[in-house]
Each structure stands twice: as C-alpha cells, then as structure tokens.
Structure 1
Amino acid sequence: MKRTRSLLCLITTFLIAAADSTEDTVMRLKMSHRDTLFPTSFHRIEDIISDDHKRHNLISQKRKTKKEGAKLALRSGFDYGAAQYFADVRVGTPAKRFRVVVDTGSELTWVNCMFRGKGKGKGKLKKRRVFRAEESSSFRQVGCLTQTCKVDLVNLFSLSSCPNPTTPCSYDYRYADGSAAQGVFAKETITVGLTNGRVARLHGLLIGCSSSFNGDSFQGADGVLGLALSDYSFTSKATNLFGGKFSYCLVDHRSHKNVSSYLIFGSTTKTITTRTTTLDLNLIPPFYAIDIIGISLGDDMLDIPPQVWDATSGGGTILDSGTSLTLLAEAAYKRVVSGLERYLMGLKRVKPEGIPIEYCFDVTSGFNETKLPQLIFHFKGGARFEPHRRSYVVDVAHGVKCLGFVSAGTPATNVVGNIMQQNYLWEFDVVASTLSFAPSSCL
C-alpha cells in the first residue's frame, strides 16, 4: 500500500516537472486497437466476445460484492476451553471448513496443514482437522527465491533458508504471548458467505500452511484469521472487495457455542446510534490504535500520567480481539485497580491457581456489582466507551471474580482485550480511519 503511494507520488512529480518545462506542448499518446498490432493474425469474433464476457463478469462481480457484505458466524471459545472468539472459514478448492481464532492483532491467516507429507500426525495436529494442500486445486506455494518471500514477507517472519528453487517459503510466526506457528506460505482461495445468502471466493489470498504450532492461544482452533491491517492480511483483501469497513460484536465470553453473532465485511445494516472516534492506522502498525486520553471511575477522573497514552513515548492503546484481558501500563493499572478496590473492601481476597490476575475475591457471601462505579475510557474528541461491569469484573471460577486487568509494565502499549469489548458492536472504517461503537446484545 505504501509502496503504491510512493510510486504514484514519483509519477506525479515527474508529470508536474515535465509540464513546467514544456508549457506550450501537449502530451499525445497514440492508441491502436489490439487487432491492428497483428495484421497477419486472424482474430475470431468469438475470442473478442469471450474476452469481453470475462471482463464484464469481473466488473459485475466487483459491483455486486461492493453492494453485498461478507458474513462469518462469530462465537466464544468458552466450550473449547479457550479465551478467544472463533469463526468458521472454508479454505481451498474444494472448500474445507476450519474453525479459526478471530485476531485483529495479527496479520497472518493460517490453518493446520499437511504439505508434501509434513504435518500429518505430528504432535498437536494429530487429533485436529488438517488442510491437505495437495488436494486443493487452487493451492499455490510461494517460492523461497521470490521477492515476496525474501522482502515482502520478512515482517511475517519468513525464513531465509532456501536449499533449492523449488523449496517453498517457510515461516516461524511469533505472537506477543509467546505462541508460534511454523509452516510454509501459499496463495489460496477462501470462500465466505454473503449477507444475501450467496457465497463469494477470495482468490489469491496469502495463507500459512502450518505443520506445527505451540502455545495455548490455539486451543480448540484449527488456525487463525489475521485481521490486522497490512498488505497481506485477510482484512486488506476483504475490505478491498466489499468496501472499506468491517465490524463485529462479541457475545459474552462465557456463552456456549450455539450462541453466535457475526463478523461482517462491508457496511452493517444495523441502525443504532453509535459513538465515533479516530482510528489511527499509521501510529502502531499493523494494529488498530485508538486515541485514549484518560480513564475515569464514574465522575472521578483518575490521575494517570499523559505519557501512558502517548504512542510516540512507548505508550498508546490498541483494540485487540485476540487478547482476552485488558493490559494497562503500570501507572494506569495501579490507579484503576486501587480505585476499584475501595468498593470491594468487605470481600475476601483469594488467589485462584493458574489465574494471572492480581486482584480476585470471593463472592459466595454475596456481591452487588451495581455498587461498583462505571469504568469509562475517554477518547480524544469527546467519545466515551463505557464497558459493562461484567467486562471488567469477570467470573473466573465458581464464587470467584477478578478485576479484569493485567499490568503491562512500563513503558507499554495498552491493550483493550476481547472481554472488555464484549456486548458492543465495533465498526472499523479503514478508509475513513474511524472506529464506531455502541452497546449491543450481539443477537
């Protein structure tokens, strides 16, 4: 995307310079019909009609898909023991269904995969659905000697090893939580449902064919749907085809798998009043940076140093569907937790095993969450995000609740996680660089 803009600027500069130096001249380009270039060849009218039909079909597809939107069912991973949200996608030709983590914080879309015998029966792939690349007629490996591999995919952790020209481009994709996936890059077709009930095929999408992975982030999943914004992400392809917006509404994280909402590419049909703030797509790429300037508990604005929200000083904030809890820089974390703690003084502190949260308490003797103050994130420009109380006082075990925050250290990027986002409709407009949101049942 950036490379295209640079090229356009270069061309524009050249044309302006040429115009300045040749004020009385006119640029004239000779045009010829293609058939006149081959006077000895006989071009049948059928060939011309066939080419025109192909072009018209492409134009028609573009117009139809701009009017329609892609619609993917979205559900909590609660029944799978995962603190993530899942969607189903169909990969390859013929299309095979896979359950993937919906992750706005990563760029690579990948599925558990077997290619040239690698991946079958290995470790964690043994009892999972596996995409068999050789069985898909649309699977095209990315070669290790290509510019795509050696230059364009470096940020997606492509590896430099290339024993021979037929070797595919490999990756070792790393996530912020320490999880990783290893495999080879390919171009493939993904089939999605449309809002009108039909389907559309996204051809030539970069995917990862993962033969192995590690980390708890993928529990219950067959892969990841990379929704961060970059040249090779699913978002970039889908928003280009369906219009520059996508939206989702995350049901309560404790919902069972039969409860679902939707991930939609294109304009949502919901007519609800939303609040809008700036979405800075160039501040912390490829993440969705939001301009938070403070947090309050009710009418009490917390005393948080402004550098916590300043991305140029190592701070700043992103919205991330792939992170469960909300991570705050230490200075913000201390003030939020201590501010809420004042309202929980009569409850017994507990430390549940395996729960990486500092402040948890026993509620078996009773707890009235309505007595807690309303947590409010304040955006530059005046918009306010007021999450539901169950989004920042979360259930972690029977009779145990915790404050849903984790310290991210100092300096640190603040991350608004998926539990904090639940039961809100979020619409990302990557053309207008805006984020709109509103409370919703997600049904």
Structure 2
Amino acid sequence: MERNISLVSLLCFIIFNGCLVFEADAVKSQRSEKLKLIHRHSPELGHNPGTTLGPPKNSEERLKQLVQSDKARLHAIKRRLGVVGKANDWVEFPFRSAADMGIGQYFVSLRMGTPAKTFTLLVDTGSCLTWFKCKYMCVDCSSVEEGQRYFYPNQSRSFKSIPCSSQECKTIDKASTLVTCPHPNAPCYYDYSYLDGLNVGGSYFNETVKFRFSNGQKKGLEMTMGCTDGLNQKNRFKTVDGILALGLNPLSFAVKAAHEFGGKFSFCLENHWIIKSESSYLVFGAEDQVPNMQFTDLLTEESKMTSLYPIKVTGISVNGTMLDIPSYVWDMTDRGAGGMIVDSGTTVTHLVEQAFEKVIAAFEPSLSMYNKTKGNLDYCFNAPPDGEFDETRVPRVALHFEGGAKLEPAVNGYIFDDSKGVKCLGFTRLAWPQMNIMGNLLMQNHLWEFDLANKKVGFARSKCMLD
C-alpha cells in the first residue's frame, strides 16, 4: 500500500518517533505469541474483505481479483524510491493468508486496550503505521454504518492521546503530520493519501497491545498507532478494523515488537489455493531452530526504500540451468531500478523484461504442446484440468541468492488456474528500469524469517502445520 508523496514519505506509514522503552525482566524464558492470519477466501470471513461481493465464483474470478489488486500495489512500489534486537520472549499469533486488496496480504487478530478487545487487521509488509478505524471526540459516537466496527478510545483506560503541542507530535513525521493545533491539548493529527485511492485521516495515540505467550502468560506493551476517523472507501474495510504494519522501519509494529521479542519475526505461508480451517503463525522473536533454514542478507544499506525488504538475487535457473540474465538486473540502485524485494503483500512475482523473457523462453519448449491463449497474466495456455494436467512437464524454477541460498518453489507457486481449461505462468513483465518483486505465491509452502537484528531474511520449506 502506498501514500501520495505530497502528503507523506512513500510507503512509510509512520507510527511514531516517540520511542518505546522496554525493560527486560531479570530472567526471561523462550515463549511465543501468534496472530491469526485468515485467508481472504476463507468461509470464516463470509465474503471478500473490503467488498460487498460474495466469494469468487470460480478460479478465473479469483485470479482476476488477485491480479487487479497487485496492479495497485505495484504502482505504489514502483513510485518510491536497523534495528538492534535483543534476546527476549517470543510470542506468536495465529493467522491465515489473504489475497492482496492493495493494503495488505494477511488478516490477524489483535487484542488492544483496557479492558482488552479483539480487532481484525490487514497485515501490510510495506508500511509502518498501524491504524484502527476509530471513534474519538465524535459528536455521536454511537452512530455507525451497518457492518462497520470501530475502536472507541473512551472505553479504554489505557488510551493516551498525543497532544498536538507535544514534542512527540513534532517529531512523528513532518510530511504526514498536520500542523493543525487549535489548542495545546488537541490531538496530533495525520492525513494519509494512498496511490490506490484510499485516504485515511485521524490522530496518533498510545495504547496497550496484549501479547499472549505460548505458555498462557500475557504481557501488555504500549505501542503508538493511529486512530483513523476519516476513511474513504469504507466498504473496503467492512470486515476488518485497520492495518497492522510490518514494514522495515524502526517505527513499524513489526520492528518494535521484534525489538522486544528477540530482534526478529517470521511467518509461514501455507498453500494459498487450499482453503483450510487451520491457521499458520506470525511469530515475534526467535523460535526453535528450524532445520534447513537458508539465509541471505537484507540490502538495507544499498536501498533507500527502508520500509521494504530488498535482497540480492544472483540468478534464476530452470531445470538446473542458469538463465542468461544480465547481472545489472539484480543490482539495486537508489532510483528504484533493479534488485528484488520480498513482498508478502504482492501476489504474483514481477520480473523486469530482461529476466521475464528469459524465463518464458525456458518454459516454452516444455509447454509447446499447449496452445497459448489470453488470460489474466502475461503468459497463459490451454491445458486440461488439474486431474489431467501433467505437472511433470512443467520445468522447475529456482531463485538463487547471494550467500548460496536457493528458493525452489512448488509448481503451484508459478502455475495458476486462470479459468476452465486455461492456466498461466505466475510471472508478469515489468518495463525496465524497475525493480523485481517476489510475490507471496512464489513464497508459499515456506517458513520465512526476517532477522532484523542481523539484517537477514531466511526461508525453509514447511507445511505450515499448527503445533
């Protein structure tokens, strides 16, 4: 999700510059907190989040929804050109993957306030402001639209407004914080406008978020977030209550929580195409060592896009043969050209034309028995249904990263059902110069760990089963 650069720094939804202060206990055990991530098409939601439509009627409608939402996110990403963690408790939240609606890719349940209430938030890995639909200082706080849910600050004993006259307000984010200050105790206001048309306005606040450990114990941490009382396109948030920010920025929810719980966070992306009742986990902190975890460095020094997760690709291979892709394609510049970002908020993997053409050329001999046809993606072909489609004919793709790590996605990570009798390759072409984006479908069936303290990202094949 992206904000208009005239209002804020791109893709950095700042939570606050008021630093959190965490006091470590004398002795801390290894525990975990999990947020529930809910698949967008899960029966648990009843209908598509943020819309009034029912679930997609078929695979063509489903893929079309994913591709359309990717377009908005890609437009935002291409417009925008460290945390020292400490060993601590680790916490985990059940969650399920969700199709990107331009704001986030996952749903989580978060308990906040005193007494604590549960809110459902979209997870956005490319932003830094966690905000809630909110009713604060309203004339008639009981007047709400049907189906809308809100956070009511006046009902929480731990809610703390940020005065517009405070130093905290002045150091939050000059680009997005409004200078409006009618009187010293008035709230510190913000206004965000996103490139996909979403606009949110409201005031910053401090509030207690409840973390539940795996051993049943609880802990509350004061976090700085946004109370959004001005929101256009409200129908997009009918089934969710706001956004949980996981961007790579010291002000994001992920960075602050990781700082308290071990300097890292992780999540397991289950098979996107299978709707299950089980959940995977969003984990803050260091869990038990995962076998076969591979790591590569986060290129935070090379990139000015501090809210994203850039990594260095060394090449792409198909059936074990490295493709002849120019090396400059993987070199990230400060102008946003080249390189690759890991973005769980994008569905399909986007490759610049120099890489895209080589990948397609490597696939075509094996798929030549199928006629090319039009679909929602750039390369689609006529093929029999899954029960008759021979996956052994599909070439195996691998992405190679600096340091020797190699991602070998499952076939369903890059061959998608588009409509009856039509399948598509899960790659889209980008004109040069732009950056490459690894989407969540290529990441699925893997556990991903973002080690912010050591500036690394790791992954390991996993079935994402609950313990």
Question: TM-score scaled to structure 2, two decimals?
Answer: 0.73
In 2: Cα distance, 1:119 partner to 1:151 partner: 32
TM-aligned CA deviation for residue 304 of structure 1 = 2.1
In 2: Cα distance, 1:387 partner to 1:121 partner: 49
Q: What does 1:32-431 align with in structure 2 at a 5 Å threshold?
A: 59-60=24-25, 63-64=27-28, 67-79=30-42, 80-81=47-48, 83=99, 84-117=105-138, 126-154=146-174, 157-175=176-194, 177-214=196-233, 220-256=239-275, 258-269=277-288, 271-282=290-301, 283=303, 284-312=305-333, 314-352=337-375, 355=376, 357-364=377-384, 366-431=388-453
In 2: Cα distance, 1:153 partner to 1:299 partner: 48
TM-aligned CA deviation for residue 254 of structure 1 = 2.6
In 1: Cα distance, 2:431 partner to 2:200 partner: 26
TM-aligned CA deviation for residue 405 of structure 1 = 2.1
Cα distance per residue 1:287-324 (max 9 Å; x no partner): 11111122121223222222221112622211112122
Change (3 A) 1:309 1:172: farther
Contact (CA 8 Å) 2:200, 2:228: kept in 1 or not? no
Q: What letter matches 1:288 in structure 2?
A: Y
Contact (CA 8 Å) 2:163, 2:185: kept in 1 or not? yes
Deviates more, 1:79-88 or 1:194-203: 79-88
Contact (CA 8 Å) 1:113, 1:209: kept in 2 or not? yes
In 2: Cα distance, 1:297 partner to 1:206 partner: 45
Q: What letter matches 1:246 in structure 2?
A: F
TM-aligned CA deviation for residue 121 of structure 1 = 8.7
TM-aligned CA deviation for residue 390 of structure 1 = 0.5
Q: What letter matches 2:370 in structure 1?
A: L
Higher relative contact order (CA 8 A, sep 6+): 2
In 1: Cα distance, 2:257 partner to 2:161 partner: 21
Cα distance per residue 1:381-425 (max 9 Å; x no partner): 211111111011123444443222233432222221211111101
TM-aligned CA deviation for residue 248 of structure 1 = 0.6
TM-aligned CA deviation for residue 261 of structure 1 = 0.7
RMSD: 2.9
**Residue 33 (structure 1) aligns with:** none
In 2: Cα distance, 1:145 partner to 1:438 partner: 48
Change (3 A) 1:175 1:295: farther
In 2: Cα distance, 1:379 partner to 1:218 partner: 37
TM-aligned CA deviation for residue 206 of structure 1 = 2.9
TM-aligned CA deviation for residue 270 of structure 1 = 5.4
Q: Percent identity?
A: 39
Change (3 A) 1:337 1:91: farther
TM-aligned CA deviation for residue 285 of structure 1 = 0.7
Change (3 A) 1:211 1:305: same
Give the secondary structure class of the aligned counterpart of 1:152: coil
**Residue 10 (structure 1) aligns with:** none
Change (3 A) 1:408 1:130: farther
Cα distance per residue 1:357-387 (max 9 Å; x no partner): 2223333364222311111111112111111
Give the secondary structure class of the aligned counterpart of 1:286: coil
**Residue 86 (structure 2) aligns with:** none
**Residue 57 (structure 2) aligns with:** none
TM-aligned CA deviation for residue 441 of structure 1 = 0.2
TM-aligned CA deviation for residue 102 of structure 1 = 2.1
Change (3 A) 1:140 1:67: same
Instruction: Return 5+ residue gaps in structure 2 as ranges.
Output: 1-21, 49-97, 100-104
Cα distance per residue 1:48-91 (max 9 Å; x no partner): xxxxxxxxx9553x743x63232222232222435132111112
TM-aligned CA deviation for residue 216 of structure 1 = 9.0
Give the secondary structure class of the aligned counterpart of 1:311: coil
Q: What letter matches 2:362 in structure 1?
A: G
In 2: Cα distance, 1:256 partner to 1:154 partner: 43
Change (3 A) 1:272 1:175: farther
Cα distance per residue 1:161-217 (max 9 Å; x no partner): 334433323333355655443322211111122122222212133344353144997
Q: What letter matches 1:306 in structure 2?
A: S
Contact (CA 8 Å) 1:142, 1:187: kept in 2 or not? yes
Contact (CA 8 Å) 2:367, 2:393: kept in 1 or not? no
TM-aligned CA deviation for residue 238 of structure 1 = 0.8
Contact (CA 8 Å) 1:76, 1:252: kept in 2 or not? no
In 2: Cα distance, 1:178 partner to 1:387 partner: 33
Deviates more, 1:241-250 or 1:186-195: 186-195
Cα distance per residue 1:20-40 (max 9 Å; x no partner): xxxxxxxxxxxxxxxxxxxxx
Change (3 A) 1:330 1:148: farther
Contact (CA 8 Å) 1:88, 1:99: kept in 2 or not? yes
